[in-house]
Each structure stands twice: as C-alpha cells, then as structure tokens.
C-alpha cells in the first residue's frame, strides 16, 4: 500500500442508515416528509452518506430516496438493493437526481446463506454478485457491496468475492454482521484479514455495520476502524431491529474524545448530536432510556456524594465530554409570558431552530398558552411546542376542536369530542370507555371510523413540576392494509398540560398520518409507480 | 502459576452492584424492604456476590446491608467503604450476621486522585490502603480492594499497591474505571499487565468494574475477562450514574452464547434475567428502552421483510438467543374472568411468582376487576397487578378511597379525592389544576400536606389495545430533608385502565414511601444509630 491508499486516510466516513436499517425498528415507520426532514438534519450535522431507503421495497421507500436525492445535495445518497437487475434499476431511478448517488448491493457469503437463503452454489452466488455490481455501474459511479454474514463465511471465498467485486468497480465493501454476537477481537481480526488478504482492497473503502444484540456494536465498529475500516454504518440513538444498530453518537464521540488512541477524525459537528437525537426519537416514537450513553437524560448527571466531591475538586477527575459539546442545551434558561416575541425568537435561534414567520407565529401562540398555565417555560417545553406546531410532516385531514372528559375510580369514564372534517363540516360525538383515554379514542373513532388498534401508549412529563407539560407518544396499527402493507404502524405525539388532551392530540396525529398515507398510496397508484 | 491458580478458573464470578452503584442513578433511591427484595431475586438468579450498599453513607444503607446480611444466605454480601477505620468498622457491623461477608475498600492510585482528591503522596496513599486492608481483615476474611482510576496511574505504582494489599490479605482486586472512556484493547491490556506484573496475583481474584459513557462497558468487561479477570461487577439493566454500569444481562449472555470463544461459565440461571430486569425497572422507576440488548421490548422482534424471510427459512441464520432462555414469558397465554382462581394460580406459578394466600387473594380480586373492564388479561397485565398488589414494600399511611375528575381543552380540570388517614379518619377535598393529574395531585396535597415537587412522570400502556392497563411511574422530590438527605427522591407507580386513577395511585405510592422513610428515620434516630 502506498500513501494514497484509502485505508490509511485519517478520516472515518459516517454512513447513516437511520432511514433504512433504523426504520426497521418495530413501529418506527416514517413518512416521506419525515424522512426528508431527518435527512436534512443529518446533512447539517455533517454525515457523509445517507442510506435513504430500499427503493424496491415500497413506494414510500422509493419516494423517500427520490425526494432526498433531489433535496439533500451535501451528502452522498445511497439506496439499498438485493443483487438482481430489477432492484438495481429501481434504485437507480430513485437516485437519478442525486448530486452523489450510491447503489448498495450485495448478497450472503456464508454457506448457510448461500444454501438456505439463496439456494445456489458459491460460484453461482459470486456470479450473481458480480453481475449486480456491473449492472449498478451502468447507472452510478459509486457502488457499495455487502457480503452478508461474512463472519461465518469461508475466509478464502470471502476474499475472492471482495477482490472480484472491487475489480468490477465497487468503491466500498461491507461485511455486515446480521446478528450482533461477535466480539471486538473477532471482528477486528476479520476486518484486518480483509485489509491484508484482498489484493486490491486499497481501491475501496472498508465499511463496518454492526448490530447490538450483546451490547457490543460500538466496540465492534471501533475495532473495525482500528483494523482498517474507514466507513462506519450507524443510526441515531442506535435504533434498528431487535437491540438495534451501532449508535452514531457513541462512535463519533469515542473517536472525538479518544483522538489520542484512534488518531481519526469524522466530519460530524458534534453540537448537532443532541438535537438530532431528540428529533429522531420524536418522529419515530422510540424513547431513549435515561442511562443511554451520550444522549440519555442522565448521561451527564452525577448523584453519588463521592463523585460529586471529586467533580468539585478537579473537573477532569471524572468528566471528559462536556454536555455542550454534544449540544445538550443549557436547561437553566427559562422564559415567561413577559419574555415576549423577541425573547422567544432569540431563545429558539439559540436552540438551533430556523422557523419561517408563519411557523414562528404558531409557536408563539402556543407559547403564550403554556406560559399562561405554567409560570415558566423552559427548553424542553419549547422543544415540545415546536414538535407539535412545526415538526408535523403530513396533511391534517381531521382537526380536533374540543374534548371534554369525566372519569374516576367509581364513575364511568365518558368523553365528548368535536372534530372538524376535511370539508369544514363539524362532527360531535361521545363515548364511555375503560378510562378517559379509551373514552376519548372511542368518541374520535365514532367520528372518523378508521379501524385500527392502539399498540403502544406512553406519556412523559417534559419538564419537572406538578404543572408540567405532558408529552404523549402512541402507536396505532391499521386494521386494513395501507399501500399493500399489512398491519402498518403509525406513531403520533401530542403535548399539553392536560394529559387527556395530549392523548387526544396524539391520536389525531397518528390517525391523520394514517389517512395521509392512504391518500399518498392512492396518488402513487394513479401515477403508475413502477 | 500452577493449576490451582484462581485466575485460570473457568468460572466468572458475578458481582452485582445494582444496590450500591446502580442505586446512584439519579432518582433510583430504594428503601430497605425494596433492596431486600432485589437481593432475594439476585440470590435466586445465582449471583455470587451482592454489593448491598455503602454502610457509612446513610442509615438506610446501613440497615439494607444489615438486613440483607441476615436474610440472604446463599451469596457473599459485600459493603463498600473508603480507606479509613470508621468506614470499615461501620461496614463490619452491618455485615456482622452475614454467612459470607466481604468488605470492599480502597482508594485512588492515579496522580490526579492522590494529589487533588486525597491530597497526599503516593507513599501516603499506599500506607492508607494497606492500613485499610489490615483493619478490614480484623473483621472479615474476605476483603476486596479497589485501586480507583488505575487506567491513569503509573503502572509500576499500581503493581506495587496491588502486590502490597494482596500480601496484606486482599482476596479480590479491582481497578474500576470511574469514567467509561477506555477502549476494550486498552482495558484488556491493563488487566493483562496486572495479571503478568503483580507477583502474588494468583492469590486474589481480578475483578473488573466498567462504566458505559461511550457504550463500551460490556466489551470492556469481556476484554478484562479474556485477559485474566474472573469477577465482573455489573448491574441489572446497566443502571448507574450517567450512562450507567455494565449490564449483567449482556455480560452473562455474551459468556453464555459465546462459550466457544470465552470458554467460561457463570452461575447465573439465565431464565431469571427477564423477571429480575422487570422488577428492578419497576422498583427504581428507570425504564428500559425498546432497543436495549437482551431485556428491551424489541430485543427479539424482527420487522424487515428480508430478515423475516431468513428467519423462516433457517432459524439459525439470524437468531442465537432464544427469548425463553432469558425468561421472556410466552405472551400468547391470556386469561379471562372465566379462568377462575385455579387458572390464575397456575399462570402465576408459571411466571415464577410465589404468593402467600393473602397476597393471592388480593391479586385475584384485582384480576377480576381488570377482567371485567377488558375482555382478556395477559402476562403483562398480570405483572402490573402483582407489582401493585404485592410488590409494595412500605407501610401505607394514607389510602386513596375515591377519585373523580373532569377536564378538557376548554374546561378547567377539577378533581375530588377521598382519602383514609392513619387513624381511620376520612378526608375529602377538591382542587383545580392545569390538567387532570395536576388537579388530582393538588387535591391530594390539600389532604396530606407533605411538601414535594414532581420531577418525573411517565405512563406506559402495559398491553396492546385501546382498553389497555396504563402503568404510571412518577418521581417526587421532598422539599424538607428526609433522614438528613436533602432533595431525597421517591418513585411511585400505579396501574389502572384509567390513567388518571393510575396517576393518583402512583402519587399515593410515592407519598406513602416518603412518609414511611420519615418514620423509619425517626425510629433509627431514637434507636441511636451509630
């Protein structure tokens, strides 16, 4: 290898797959507008490659990759395919307008994959993979190849596959561990063996993609990087199927705080980490546990007497990451009704929100309402208000005008709702239920009549204090297929000082998303999606 | 080293510090009865050593170590101390009745600790540590020594300290990394260097204690084990300050599923992992995120089409841990009112609950109530019922008899409560609030008048479906010191199909715990606690 080798670069490319592998978390389904918004904040954070979807898998994935290709110009945009011509052609079409398009194709290399999943031979599989790379190269310059289940493959066969696909033009190669049962030593050894045994490896970037089943995804990714990988495949908050993917924030902050050890940089603006984490949590409805590294609520909180003592005496005794470095806002700045338009505007700008005039006005009105009920409005209240008023990426078909409820441990919970429909008509109905939320949802169902099942419900107080704003996150599952997908799940959220009202808003949010998805599907069908 | 060396054993001792380091999570404060209950399930799971507390730190810690020493006979019980005679004497007294007592003492070995925290010299620190071990040995045979911040210590000094304390009788030595910024390579190298450079290391067990600030605690712990450590210090769900400690479940399942790699066993009955995880989450009020390895709700859930296909074709393609191996209950068994006493009894036994007659009767009555409101009662409903009716470890001073609420987006939320007091007298009061929960809490405050602030509030639906049982978890902070501790935090939980009723129950739970803690403190004060 000479000085120009890719794998001796001192930069690790960050390949974010929140929108593809992360979205495979049960119930994380995002609509196209939400995916575009997440792509936008990923771009602003400095991600190198965004894996925007698996275009052939659904019209929603196709449209998301297409729109992100058109609107996000500062990153490479990547689409996943299996190793067949149709998948690749659909991905190429979705990526057509991207400034820097990448097709990500590949297939299994272990015997169990080749025999049981692909039902072919090693030579047959190698041929399929090569054909896929050659086909993808007809459309794009940048082709990434995944050799699935490489950890269980015959190493000689793996090297031969990688050499062949690189010779055919693959620019990045990847050995995803579909399950996260590998130790960092083993994974590092695998990556090193690839770096040492694939003769033309210097013509491609080695990428690492780890899952977290035993809680070692970050350590495995870093072991890969120390052994020659220069691309890390990660998701925000580590979301993904089962125990999830590698966390972007952990890998980036490990490389950042331990530059002495790794000697490697990334292009990530670390101060964007916390706001992006919050946005993804909110849009996917997947909560972050308090003891999550880097982005959990307690990540920087001390409680023990001994440690507090140490922190006071010498800050470097115990703390290395400063919360500000990852964009955790200073929670001590609070506003009140008297802060006025100017004060609110200033604080929102400090928190990194850029709102147009109409959006600002909506936020300001909600701010006044909240400030009227609570004495003070802090950073988290503001986040909840912005989330409700601005960060909604769908058309609101039904609007909740009025809700009222009575309940208790010896009464029959009863709710009344008034809802405005798509053509301005107003409906009013009531229902009893097992609790106030159940009663509200049944009353709403009587008006809207979109059959679904509530599969998850949670409330968090967004701030401290008995008069706090409550933030409700729910997930509903459509009874009828949406866009050909059975049991499609939609999340919704709503914030209010009254958790029953917040619950009603969250349900309306999820129902409107569901209805919006049905309309989108109908439009795509009539536009003759290929 | 010869065959009898401790460090060539093929068993890793599991040292659980959920009750000591885990309890330092902000707001995780447990009372003595709750700690005893957790110790009981840890013993039943096969933990080798329970670190039960830091006896000199508070009367609560002292009593917890004392009661656990008396009641838990199947594990070593360990108490933490600093390296001074008073700490050690108090710990020895707390451990007096233990079948196998261990004192855990030590101090910092890095320059920054010695100079800034201890304000002494290396020789002075070594002398303090040696004196501590010798003093502890007067009371117990089994003494563990921690050399804090060993990662930043001069290695030669570290080896000298460890050799000296082992010569003085330390049976286990530990180099806790107070912050979790170490990579597995570095940590493994540190442990190996200790194994190779401390001449009498074969007379002690090397223990590893890692924090999770960069998400690498599990990988670091396993790197320690591969390099000679034979004791892992862990907590259930990885709870602890900041990003927490190493997760017991991840380390145990990594050793278990990768026996081929590690060649090491633990004494843990893995089928107890999930129930213990749930109990700790419930008693501490610290939620587990869905994508948490091993114990998260999604840990074993697949959603992507490609993977589902793989799972169907060949189970071993993608899944290694069977959910049953970690005790995840089969969620498909559901009960109804017609299941009767016998059906309920049978199912509770299957789930591992052993209830006495009175407890069973309380659970059965609640079961009938829930079955009356919902059509079916599943495993998670039963868990919530048992948690409410049986797993409450305090005296109920005030009992909520009646609660009723009216609220809505254009009405003033108003609540009425009726509460029975300690001498049977009944109080009734009402209040308005910013929402129904706020109104209920204010009405309760008017009756009970224990000043506090609500600092956390969350609700989870415990089962799917619009009529699900909601489980509320709250945390309140006492305005007045409790037992000399300022800003003491108490968590509470409650379950009901009506989340407003569940919220009221959770608040009564937390308030009764607070009042109980005040009474305990008064009793200890009059018993002249040393």
Q: What is the 3-state secondary structure (H, E, C) of A62-82?
A: HHHHHHHHHHCCCCEEEEECC
Determine whether the interchain pair B242/A302 forms a contact, defined as Cβ–Cβ distance below 8 Å.
yes
Segment B387-434, tens digit of pLDDT: 888 877 888 899 999 999 999 988 899 999 999 999 999 999 999 998
User: What is the token pair recorded at A220?
Assistant: 């495995």
Determine whether the interchain pair A184/B243 forms a contact, defined as Cβ–Cβ distance below 8 Å.
no
Mean pLDDT of B99-104: 98
Is the model's pLDDT at B498 over the cut of 60? yes
Is the model's pLDDT at B174 over the cut of 70? yes
In chain B, what residues touch A288 (CB-CB under 8 Å)?
289
Shortest CA distance to B133 belongs to which of B118, B145, B121?
A: B145
Determine whether the interchain pair A317/B113 forms a contact, defined as Cβ–Cβ distance below 8 Å.
yes
In A, minimum Cα distance to B310 occurs at: A117
Distance between CA B299 and CA B279 in Å, rounded? 18
Mean pLDDT of A346-374: 88
pLDDT band for B213, please (50, 70, 90 cuts). very high
* pLDDT for res B117: 82
Determine whether the interchain pair B214/A402 forms a contact, defined as Cβ–Cβ distance below 8 Å.
no
Grouping H, G, I as helix, E, B as strand and the rest as coil, residue B478 is strand
| Residue in A215, A257, A438 nearest the CB of B293 | A215
Strands A231-234 and A399-408: unpaired
Is the model's pLDDT at A127 over the cut of 80? yes
Mean pLDDT of A11-31: 89
In chain A, what residues touch B215 (CB-CB under 8 Å)?
215, 217-219, 238, 247, 250, 254, 293-294
Determine whether the interchain pair B500/A500 forms a contact, defined as Cβ–Cβ distance below 8 Å.
yes
Mean pLDDT of B270-278: 93
Mean pLDDT of B38-58: 96
Distance between CA B268 and CA B41 in Å, rounded? 12
In chain B, what residues touch A313 (CB-CB under 8 Å)?
116-117
As a whole-number percent, the residues of chain B with pLDDT over 70 amount to: 93
Is the model's pLDDT at A272 over the cut of 70? yes
Mean pLDDT of A297-320: 54
Q: Which residues 6+ apart lie within 8 Å of A107 measured at CB?
A: A82, A83, A113, A118, A125, A128, A129, A132, A146, A147, A148
- In contact, A462 and A468? CB cutoff 8 Å: yes
- Mind telling me how many Å the CA of B417 is from chain A's nearest CA? 9
Segment A423-479, tens digit of pLDDT: 999 999 999 998 999 999 999 999 999 999 888 888 877 666 666 778 888 889 888
* pLDDT for res A304: 44
Angle at B122 between CA B119 and CA B128, to 5 degrees: 75
Least-confidence region, from A15-19, A308-312, A518-522: A308-312
Alpha-carbon torsion B212, B213, B215, B220, what sign?
negative
Is the model's pLDDT at A208 over the cut of 60? yes
**B149, B322, B408, best to mutate vs chain A, most A CBs in 10 Å:** B408
Residue A93: Cβ-neighbour burial (10 angstroms; 0-12, 13-18, 19+): middle
* pLDDT for res A4: 43
Is the model's pLDDT at A191 over the cut of 50? yes
Q: Which residues 6+ apart lie within 8 Å of B342 measured at CB?
A: none
* pLDDT for res A67: 97
User: What is the token pair recorded at A311?
Assistant: 């922190």
Residue B44: Cβ-neighbour burial (10 angstroms; 0-12, 13-18, 19+): middle
Determine whether the interchain pair A290/B316 forms a contact, defined as Cβ–Cβ distance below 8 Å.
no
Determine whether the interchain pair A291/B82 forms a contact, defined as Cβ–Cβ distance below 8 Å.
no
- Mind telling me how many Å the CA of B342 is from chain A's nearest CA? 26
* pLDDT for res A221: 97
Is the model's pLDDT at A132 over the cut of 90? yes
* pLDDT for res A312: 41
- Mind telling me how many Å the CA of A177 is from chain B's nearest CA? 10
* pLDDT for res A464: 65
| Residue in B434, B496, B503 nearest the CB of A467 | B434
In chain A, what residues touch B457 (CB-CB under 8 Å)?
459-461, 468, 470
Distance between CA A28 and CA A36 in Å, rounded? 15
* pLDDT for res A265: 95
* pLDDT for res A306: 45
- Mind telling me how many Å the CA of B185 is from chain A's nearest CA? 9
Mean pLDDT of B30-43: 93
Determine whether the interchain pair A292/B243 forms a contact, defined as Cβ–Cβ distance below 8 Å.
yes
Is the model's pLDDT at A364 over the cut of 70? yes
Q: What is the ipTM of this complex?
A: 0.83
- Mind telling me how many Å the CA of B461 is from chain A's nearest CA? 5
| Residue in A216, A239, A373 nearest the CB of B434 | A373
Mean pLDDT of A241-262: 94
* pLDDT for res A332: 66
| Residue in A291, A403, A409 nearest the CB of B501 | A409
Radius of gyration for chain B, computed over Cα atoms and rounded to the nearest angstrom: 25
* pLDDT for res B173: 97
Determine whether the interchain pair A470/B318 forms a contact, defined as Cβ–Cβ distance below 8 Å.
no
* pLDDT for res A234: 98
pLDDT band for A307, please (50, 70, 90 cuts). very low
Mean pLDDT of B75-94: 97
CA B323 to chain centre: 22
In chain A, what residues touch B216 (CB-CB under 8 Å)?
216, 218-219, 222, 250, 254
pTM here is 0.86
As a whole-number percent, the residues of chain A with pLDDT over 70 amount to: 93
Angle at B380 between CA B375 and CA B384, to 5 degrees: 100
More confident residue, A117 or A164: A164
* pLDDT for res B467: 67
Helix and strand numbers (H, E) in chain A are 17, 14
Which H/E stretch holds residue A167? Answer: helix A155-167
* pLDDT for res A467: 67
Is the model's pLDDT at A29 over the cut of 80? no
* pLDDT for res A217: 96
Is the model's pLDDT at A316 over the cut of 60? no
Determine whether the interchain pair B288/A289 forms a contact, defined as Cβ–Cβ distance below 8 Å.
yes
Strands B399-408 and B414-420: antiparallel
- In contact, A331 and A350? CB cutoff 8 Å: no
Strand partners, A399: A420
Determine whether the interchain pair B404/A404 forms a contact, defined as Cβ–Cβ distance below 8 Å.
no
């Amino acid at each position: 290898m000479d000085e120009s080798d890719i794998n001796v670069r001192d930069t690790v490319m960050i390949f974010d797959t929140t929108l593809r592998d992360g979205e495979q978390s049960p119930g994380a389904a995002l609509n196209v507008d939400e995916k575009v918004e997440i792509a936008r904040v990923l771009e602003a954070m400095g991600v190198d490659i965004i894996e925007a979807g698996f275009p052939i898998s659904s019209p929603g994935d196709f449209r998301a990759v297409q729109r992100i290709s058109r609107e996000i110009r500062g990153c490479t945009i990547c689409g996943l395919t299996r190793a067949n011509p149709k998948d690749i052609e659909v991905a190429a079409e979705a990526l057509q307008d991207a400034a820097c398009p990448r097709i990500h194709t590949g297939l299994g290399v272990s015997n169990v994959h080749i025999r049981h999943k692909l039902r072919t031979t090693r030579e047959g599989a190698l041929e399929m993979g090569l054909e896929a790379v050659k086909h993808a190269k007809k459309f794009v310059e940048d082709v990434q190849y995944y050799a699935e289940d490489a950890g269980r493959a015959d190493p000689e066969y793996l090297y031969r596959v990688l050499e062949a696909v690189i010779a055919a033009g693959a620019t990045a190669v990847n050995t995803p561990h579909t399950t996260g049962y590998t130790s960092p030593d083993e994974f590092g050894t695998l990556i090193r063996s690839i770096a040492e045994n694939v003769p033309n490896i210097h013509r491609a970037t080695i990428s690492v993609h780890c899952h977290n089943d035993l809680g070692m995804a970050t350590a495995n990714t870093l072991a890969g990087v120390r052994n020659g990988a220069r691309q890390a495949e990660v998701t925000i908050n580590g979301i993904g199927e089962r125990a999830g993917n590698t966390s972007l924030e952990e890998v980036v902050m490990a490389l950042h705080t331990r530059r002495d050890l790794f000697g490697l940089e990334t292009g990530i603006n670390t101060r964007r980490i916390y706001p992006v984490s919050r946005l993804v949590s909110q849009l996917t409805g997947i909560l972050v546990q308090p003891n999550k590294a880097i982005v959990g609520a307690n990540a920087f909180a001390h409680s023990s007497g001994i440690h507090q003592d140490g922190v006071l005496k010498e800050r470097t005794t115990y703390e290395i990451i400063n919360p500000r470095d990852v964009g955790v806002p200073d929670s001590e700045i609070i506003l009140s009704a008297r802060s006025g338009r100017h004060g609110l505007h200033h604080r929102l700008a400090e928190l990194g929100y850029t709102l147009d005039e109409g959006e600002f006005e909506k936020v300001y009105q909600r701010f006044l309402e909240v400030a009227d009920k609570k004495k003070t409005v802090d950073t988290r209240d503001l986040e909840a208000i912005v989330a409700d008023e601005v960060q909604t990426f769908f058309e609101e078909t039904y609007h909740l005008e009025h809700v009222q409820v009575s309940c208790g441990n010896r009464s029959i919970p009863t709710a009344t709702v008034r809802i405005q429909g798509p053509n301005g008509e107003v409906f009013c109905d009531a229902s009893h239920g097992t609790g106030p939320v159940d009663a509200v949802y049944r009353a709403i169902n009587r008006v809207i009549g979109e059959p679904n099942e509530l599969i998850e419900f949670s409330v968090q107080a967004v701030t401290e204090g008995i008069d706090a704003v409550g933030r409700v996150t729910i997930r509903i599952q459509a009874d009828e297929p949406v866009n050909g997908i059975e049991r499609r799940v939609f999340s919704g959220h709503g914030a209010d000082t009254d958790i029953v009202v917040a619950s009603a808003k969250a349900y309306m949010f999820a129902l409107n998303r569901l209805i919006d998805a049905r309309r989108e599907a109908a439009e795509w069908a009539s536009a003759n999606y290929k």
